[in-house]
Amino acid sequence: MARCEVCGNDYDQSFEVRTRGMVHVFDSFECAIHRLAPRCEHCDCTIIGHGVQAEGRFYCCASCATAVGVTDLRDRV
């Protein structure tokens, strides 16, 4: 068993996520998303899907990127 780094639950079905040279331990996908998913630079929502990226910044959609002055991104329609 391993303890979740977000909620502290010591769970027999915990799992590891390896990213950027680090190992993280979680007891649920919810905790993994909470810790690892990027946040939109404009509206601060958690980006669970693809999102968009410009100049090293993450946005949940092209609309949010446009709101802060990024003009070359388009949402897929």
**Burial per residue of 15-47, b for 16 or more beta-carbon CB atoms within 10 angstroms, e otherwise:** eeeeeeeeebbbbbeebbeeeeeeebbbeeeeb
Q: Which tens digit of pLDDT belongs to each residue from 8-26?
A: 999 999 999 999 999 999 9
Give the pLDDT confidence score for residue 77 in this predicted structure: 62
| Mean predicted confidence (pLDDT) in 48-63 | 92
Instruction: Tell me the pLDDT band of 74, cut-offs 50, 70 and 90.
Output: confident
